[in-house]
Chains A and B, each alone.
Chain A
Amino acid sequence: MPRAKFTKAKIRGIVSSIPQIEKRIDDEKDLYGGNIKLIEKIKKMVGLNVRYEADKYTTTSDLCENAANELLKGTGFDRSDIDCLIFITQTPDYFLPATASVLHKKLCLNKDCAAFDITLGCSGYVYGLWMAYSLIEAGGCNNVLLLAGETTSKIVHPKDKTTVPLFGDAGTATLIQRTEQPSPSSFVLYSDGTGYEAIMIPAGAFRMPKSPETAREVLDDDGNPRTLENLHLNGPDIFSFAINEVPRSVDEILNFSGVPKENIDAFIFHQANNYITDNIVKKASLPPEKVPLIIGKYGNQSRASIPTAICDLILGGGGKRSLTALLSGFGVGLSWANCIIGLDDIYVKIKKYEGGADR
Chain B
Amino acid sequence: MKKSELLEEIKDALQREQPIDESMQLSDSEEWDSLSTLAIISFYDRLFSKTLKFNEINKVKTVSDLVNLASDKLE
A residues at B contact (CB < 8 Å)? 38, 41-42, 45-46, 162, 221-222, 234-237, 239-240, 243-244, 275, 279, 282-283
Task: Give the distance to chain B from A238, nearest Cβ to Cβ, in Å.
Answer: 9
Instruction: Using A162-B34, A237-B54 as known contacts, list a sample of 13 further A-B pairs with CB atoms less than 8 Å apart, ordered by residue number in A.
Output: A235-B34, A236-B34, A236-B38, A236-B41, A236-B53, A236-B54, A236-B57, A239-B42, A240-B41, A240-B52, A275-B42, A279-B45, A282-B46
Within 8 A of A (CB), among B56-70: 57-58
Do the beta carbons of B53 and A42 come within 8 Å of each other?
A: no
Give the distance in Å from the alpha carbon of A38 to the alpha carbon of B33 in the complex.
9
Q: How many contacting A-B pairs (Cβ < 8 A)? A: 50
A235 x B45 contact (CB < 8 A): no
| Contact (Cβ within 8 A) A45 B35 | yes
Q: Which residues of B contact A46 (CB under 8 A)?
A: 35
Decide if B35 touches A236 in the complex (CB within 8 Å). no
Task: Tell me, yes or no, whether B29 is within 8 Å of chain A by CB.
Answer: no
Classify the interface of chain B: helix, strand, loop or mixed: helix
Q: How far is the CA of A46 from the CA of B37 in the complex (A)?
A: 13
Q: What 0/1 pattern do residues 38 to 52 of B give for CB contact below 8 A with A?
A: 110110011000011
What residues make up the interface of B, taking CB atoms closer than 8 Å to A? 15, 33-35, 37-39, 41-42, 45-46, 51-54, 57-58
Do A42 and B45 contact each other (CB < 8 Å), given the known contacts A236-B52, A236-B57, A237-B53? Answer: no
Check A236–B45 contact: CB distance below 8 A. Answer: no
CB distance from B61 to the nearest CB of A (A): 12
Contact, CB under 8 Å: A240 / B45: yes
A164-B6 Cα distance, complex, nearest whole Å:
34
What is the CB-to-nearest-CB distance from B29 to chain A, in angstroms, rounded to a whole number? 13
Which of B34, B35, B42, B53 lies in contact with A279, CB distance below 8 A? B42
Smallest CB–CB gap between A280 and chain B, Å? 11
